[in-house]
Amino acid sequence: MRSVPPVRRPYSLAVLALLAALLMAAGGAGPAFAAPSAVTVAEELQRSSVYIDPAYEEAVPRELQQRLRQAARKAPGNVRVALAPLVKGDQYDGDGREFTTAIRSRLPAGQRDGTFVTANDSYLRSYSWTGGRPDFKAPADDAEYLANFTDGDDGEAGDRSLGERVEVLLTLLREPADVLHRRAEKAKADVNDRARSYRSSGTVARVGGRNGIEIPWWLALIGVLAAGAIGVGVWRRSRRGARAANAPLPVLPDRVFEHARAAQRADLAEDADRELLALATVLDEAPVPATREGQDAYQRALDAYTGARRRMRDGAPTVDLVGVLVLVDHARDDLARAAALDAGRKPANRPALCFFDPLHGRAGRNAAWRDGLRVPACTACAEAVKSGQAPDALRDGDRPYFEADTVWARTGYGTFGDDLVERVARGDR
C-alpha cells in the first residue's frame, strides 16, 4: 500500500488550506510544462544514463545530477533515469510506462533491455525489460518501494526530494537481489501495519515538530502529497480523484477468459500481461478507502496484484498464466468491494469461475464431483460430469491441474476457500 510516514515538515493549516484551494482551482487548468519528445530523451540517454528535464533542474541541481550519473554507472544492469513532467492528457497520457515504452522504441535494438526510472509527481516509478519483455520481478521494483516509502539514515522518506529518492534507489540496486527483496517485503509489512494503526485508531499527525499543531492523518496526508507535487502534480491528482470512483470493473469480463481459452500459450501470456498492466493503472488511480473494511478489501487487491505480478514471468507455465488472470479477477472484485463498503453499500458477489478450467469463464451451476464434493462448473463441464464423462479440465503437464501439488490445485483456483490471495502472497507454490 502506498502509505506515507507521519508528517514532520513545518506546514501550517494556512498552507494546507491554500493547497486545498489550489486543488479545487486547478481542475480546469492545463499542464504547466510540456512533456519532452521521446526522440529527444532517447538521444540524450545514449550520451548519458541520466536525463533531467529543464522543469526539474531546480529540484535536481547539477551537483546531484552528477552523483546520479555516477550511481547509475555503478548500478548493475543497464539502468537509465529519465525525469520529465508527465501530465494526464499529454502525448503519454501522464503514464510513466507509456513514456518509457516510447523512449525504448527510439533506442537501438540492442539497448532496449534494462531498467528505466522515471517519476509520476514526486514518486519514482521503475520499469524493467528483459529479453524484450516486461520484467515484473526486477530488483528495481523493491528499490523503488524502499526509496519512495521507507525511512533511512537520511530521515523520513517524505522528506526526500525527487532527486534524493533517485539516488537512494540507484544505491539500493547495488545490494544483492535477495537481500533487497527481503528488505522491501519487511518494509511493506511495517508500513502497512503503521498505516492501519493510524486509520483504525483515528490517530492524528503532528505538524511542526513537538510543539506543533495536530491535524487528522488524512489531512496531513493531503499536505504531504500536495507539497511534493506543485503545479503539474496538483492538477494531475485532482483529475485522477475525479475518475477513480468508476475505474475498477467488478470482475474481468467474460470475453477475457473466452479469448484466453482460445489463445495459444504465447497469446495467453500477452493477455495476462495486458490485464496485469491495466490493473496496475486502476490501482494507481484508485483512492485509498476511508473505512477500515474498505481498507482491508483494498489491501487484498494490492496483495492479489503483487502475487500476480510475481507469477508473470518469462516462461511461466500455463497454470501460472491462468492464475495471473484469476488473481486479477480477485483484485478487481476487491477494489469494487472496497468502493461499495466505503459508500455504505452492500458489495456484489463475484461470480465463481469454472473449477475445472477458469478459462471456461463463469460457472453456470454446481456439479457433484468426487466424494460428493460440489464444485462450480461451466455448463459443458457440468453436463460432462453428470453424464459420467471426464470434464475438459485445464492440464498441468500430463494431468489435470487439480491432480498436481500446486497452490492452484490445493485451492482449486480459489474454489475451496477465500485464502488463494493470501497463499500466493506468502509465496506458496
Amino acid at 186: K
% of the chain beyond a pLDDT of 90: 27
| 75: β partners | none
Task: From 408, 389, 259, select the one nearest 330 (Cα to Cα).
Answer: 408
Residues 113-142 have pLDDT tens digits of: 999 999 876 678 899 988 888 887 789 989
Reduced to 3 states (helix: H, G, I; strand: E, B; else coil), residue 364 is: coil
The beta-carbon contacts of 250-256 under 8 Å, at least 24 apart in sequence, are 250/332, 250/333, 250/336, 250/348, 250/350, 251/329, 251/332, 251/333, 251/336, 251/350, 251/351, 252/325, 252/328, 252/329, 252/332, 254/361, 254/362, 256/325
Identify the band that residue 33 occupies on the pLDDT scale cut at 50, 70 and 90: low
Report residue 10: phi and psi, to 5°: -85, 65
The winner for highest mean pLDDT among 28-37, 229-238, 294-303 is 294-303
Residues 215-234 have pLDDT tens digits of: 455 555 555 455 444 444 43
Identify the band that residue 7 occupies on the pLDDT scale cut at 50, 70 and 90: very low
Please state, rounded to an integer, the average pLDDT across all residues of the chain. 76
Q: Which of 99-108, 163-172, 238-247, 352-361 has the lowest mean pLDDT?
A: 238-247
Residue 360 C-alpha cell reads as 471456461
- pLDDT at position 11 is 40
Counted residue by residue, the chain has a size of: 429
Residue 352: how many CB atoms within 10 A of its CB?
18
Amino acid at 160: R
Identify the band that residue 261 occupies on the pLDDT scale cut at 50, 70 and 90: low
Residues 139-181 have pLDDT tens digits of: 998 998 888 877 655 445 556 788 888 999 999 999 999 999 9
Q: Going by C-beta distance under 8 Å and a sequence separation of 6 or more, which residues neighbour residue 387?
A: none
Residue 353: how many CB atoms within 10 A of its CB?
27
* DSSP string covering 418-429: S-HHHHHHTT--
**Which residue do the cell numbers 501522464 mark?**
94
How crowded is the C-beta side of 268, counted as CA atoms within 13 Å? 24
Report residue 384: phi and psi, to 5°: -65, -45
Identify the band that residue 24 occupies on the pLDDT scale cut at 50, 70 and 90: very low
- pLDDT at position 203 is 41
Mean predicted confidence (pLDDT) in 298-303: 87
Mean predicted confidence (pLDDT) in 246-254: 53
With vertex at residue 422, the alpha carbon angle to CA 378 and CA 193, rounded to the nearest 5 degrees, is 145
Choose between 417 and 186: higher pLDDT. 186
Q: Across the chain, which distance is largest between two alpha carbons, in Å? A: 76
For domain 30-200, give the CATH number: 3.10.310
Q: Which of 59-63, 69-73, 210-214, 215-219 has the lowest mean pLDDT?
A: 210-214
Residue 69 C-alpha cell reads as 550519473
% of the chain beyond a pLDDT of 70: 72
- pLDDT at position 50 is 94
Domain boundaries, the chain: 30-200, 245-429
- pLDDT at position 2 is 35
- pLDDT at position 69 is 93
